[in-house]
Structure 1
Amino acid sequence: MTHRIILFRGMNTGGVRAPVAEQRAMAEEMGLKNPRTLAASGNLVVESGKATAALEADIEAAMERRFGLKIAAMVRTPEQWAKVIAANPFPAEATAQPSKVVAMVMKDGVKDGALDSCRALAEGGERVEAIDDVLWFWFPNGQGESAIFKKATPRMLGMGTGRNWNTVLKLAALAGVETTS
């Protein structure tokens, strides 16, 4: 058994809600151990021996059964999460303004052309990089003001979910991931 970090796409945004206590109860009913949530932000950490893809499918099915929600789940192991943290292409920005660095974890990888499309939308010093299955964003004026954030869609990028640097590190701590950040 090892920790698994589960990220839900669009949870508790845009009216999509599933109470965290009920998410934890669902995880326990699935046989997942020690379920923990991070705020009400669509993050669940559990202990499981299941393979990542199998756990993703099981979690998505359980969310639909229990809450009637078709929500994509992205599952990462502690080792995968440590690699995400180490790959941050904006370390100085993350130290200075962690809420303005966003890691968008993609379910099936970054869609071809997504990086170029995002760069074409970038304004006001915004930057974007693709590393492995993560799109990284630097939003110097905040995500809510970003032209990329306002115009980029799953059709353009692929299916993914973003977490700011603060949340990335909090999830690491919750899952016992060793970091140097």
Structure 2
Amino acid sequence: MTHRIILFRGMNTGGVRAPVGEQRKMAEAMGLKNPRTLAASGNLVVESGKAAEALEAAMEKTFGLKVAAMVRTPDQWAKLIAANPFPKEAASHPAKVIAMVMKEEIKDGAVEACRALAEGGEAVEAVDGVLYFWFPNGQGESGIFKKATPRMLGMGTGRNWNTVLKLAEMASAA
């Protein structure tokens, strides 16, 4: 069975809510096998593949939410982990390293724009269509985080390194 890691953008933040139990029921109703959620933040791992558009349509039909879904295979996720340009930071402060998985391409000039907003040692790198952020003072205090928008970066959703690793573990479990 092929696993899929599904990330919903903006779930359970800013008033966009869909209970994880209901997300699992929705996935089962779509025919997705063994749906598992991680935390209440729009993470879903299933044992079958569906197009992101089908998941987005199901979220809108089930919850009335228009949210973007990013779908990745375990191999794609392993490459995302291996490509992390901040491995030392991720090992010592995993909650302060963010991988932003993009729906489509990173916008031209996004990295440069983020670097111009960076404060206090913050860093950003783009590797294989993923934006990686290092927020030494935390994301909530970040100059980048406060001002960067999808219009500047492209449509994506970020997960801290703890979540990235937990999703990899979930997708590798039978």
1:60 aligns with 2:56: yes
Alpha-carbon separation, structure 2, partners of 1:8 and 1:16: 11
Letter in 1 for 2:15: G
Letter in 2 for 1:121: L
Alpha-carbon separation, structure 2, partners of 1:38 and 1:153: 25
Tell me the secondary structure at the aligned position of residue 110 of structure 1: coil
Residue pairs, 1:29-40, within 5 angstroms: 29-40=29-40
2:110 alignment counterpart:
114
1:22 alignment counterpart:
22
Instruction: Measure how far apart 1:49 and its partner are.
Output: 4.2
Residue pairs, 1:16-165, within 5 angstroms: 16-50=16-50, 55-165=51-161
Letter in 1 for 2:170: L
2:165 alignment counterpart:
169
Question: RMSD between aligned alpha carbons?
Answer: 0.9
**Deviation digits for residues 56-85 of structure 1 (CA, Å, limit 9, x no counterpart):** 000000000000000000000000000000
Alpha-carbon separation, structure 1, partners of 2:125 and 2:48: 31
Instruction: Measure how far apart 1:41 and its partner are.
Output: 1.2
Alpha-carbon separation, structure 2, partners of 1:111 and 1:79: 24
Tell me the secondary structure at the aligned position of residue 39 of structure 1: coil
**Deviation digits for residues 43-62 of structure 1 (CA, Å, limit 9, x no counterpart):** 00001144xxxx20000000
Letter in 1 for 2:36: R
Alpha-carbon separation, structure 2, partners of 1:111 and 1:2: 30
Does structure 2 conserve the Cα–Cα contact (< 8 Å) formed by 1:90 and 1:138?
yes
Letter in 1 for 2:161: W
After TM superposition, the score normalised by the length of structure 1 is 0.94
Where does structure 1 differ by over 4 angstroms across 4 or more consecutive aligned residues? none
**Deviation digits for residues 110-143 of structure 1 (CA, Å, limit 9, x no counterpart):** 1111001000100100000000111000000000
1:7 alignment counterpart:
7
Alpha-carbon separation, structure 2, partners of 1:86 and 1:127: 18
Alpha-carbon separation, structure 1, partners of 2:42 and 2:28: 17
Alpha-carbon separation, structure 2, partners of 1:39 and 1:129: 27
Gaps of at least 5 residues in structure 1 are: none
Alpha-carbon separation, structure 2, partners of 1:168 and 1:127: 18
Letter in 1 for 2:95: S
After TM superposition, the score normalised by the length of structure 2 is 0.98
